Amino acid sequence: MFALVFNEQVIQVEDTTFPVAPALQWIEIPSDLNVTPGWTYDGAFHAPPAPPPAPIPFQVPMWAVRTVLQNDGLFDQAQTLINETSDVALKNVWEYGNFADRNSRAINVLAIELGLTDAQVDQMFIDANNLSV
C-alpha cells in the first residue's frame, strides 16, 4: 500500500502508485500500519489526533433529563428532592418545564443535592441530547 502525501498530509491511499504532480509524493506504508487519509507524514506516519470532544449542549428537553436520571438510578432521589422543596419555581420547572438549561439554577440545585460533579452534569446533558423517541 502507498500513501499519497501533500504538505505532510496523507490525502489518498492506493495499492499501486501512478504518476502525480511534483508537489505530491508516494510513500510506501509499512504493513503493520492502517494508514488512511488524514494521517500525517514527516518521515514517519502519525495517526490524526482524536477529534475534539463534542460540545456540551446548552439546552436539552426536560423529558430527556428525567430519562437520563432514571437510567442512572437518580430519578427517585431527584423526585424526593422536588417533593420536599418549598421552592415553587423549582417544582414548576420539574413538573412543567419544556427544557433544561445547563447553567440554570434548577440544574445547579439538582446537581448539588444529588452530589453530581460538573463533569457528571455535562455528561448528563450529552446523554440527554443523544436520546430520541
Q: Is there a single domain that holds both residue 40 and residue 66?
A: no
Measured on CA atoms in the order 107, 111, 113, 114, is the torsion positive or negative? positive
Residue 31 placed within a domain: yes
pLDDT value at residue 51: 83
pTM for this model (two decimals): 0.65
Q: Is there a single domain that holds both residue 80 and residue 41?
A: no
Class of residue 45 by CB neighbours under 10 A (exposed 0-12, middle 13-18, buried 19+): middle
Q: Which residues is 124 bridged to in the sheet? A: none
Q: Is there a single domain that holds both residue 40 and residue 63?
A: no
Query: In Å, how far are 29, 45, 50, 122 from 33, measured between CA atoms?
Result: 7, 8, 17, 35
Residue with cell 445547579: 108
Residue 8 placed within a domain: yes
The pLDDT tens digits of the residues spanning 51-77 come to: 888 899 999 999 999 999 999 999 999
Q: Is there a single domain that holds both residue 66 and residue 114?
A: yes
Residue 87 placed within a domain: yes
Residue 54 placed within a domain: no
Domain total in the chain: 2
Q: Is there a single domain that holds both residue 15 and residue 39?
A: yes
Grid coordinates in use for 102? Answer: 445547563
Q: Is there a single domain that holds both residue 83 and residue 120?
A: yes
Q: Which residues is 99 bridged to in the sheet? A: 61
Those residues of the chain that have pLDDT short of 70 are: none
Q: Is there a single domain that holds both residue 120 and residue 83?
A: yes
Residue 52 placed within a domain: no
Q: Is there a single domain that holds both residue 84 and residue 122?
A: yes
Which structural domain, as residue segments, surrounds residue 15? 2-46
Q: Is there a single domain that holds both residue 13 and residue 63?
A: no
12 half-sphere exposure, CB direction, 13 A CA radius = 11
pLDDT value at residue 52: 85
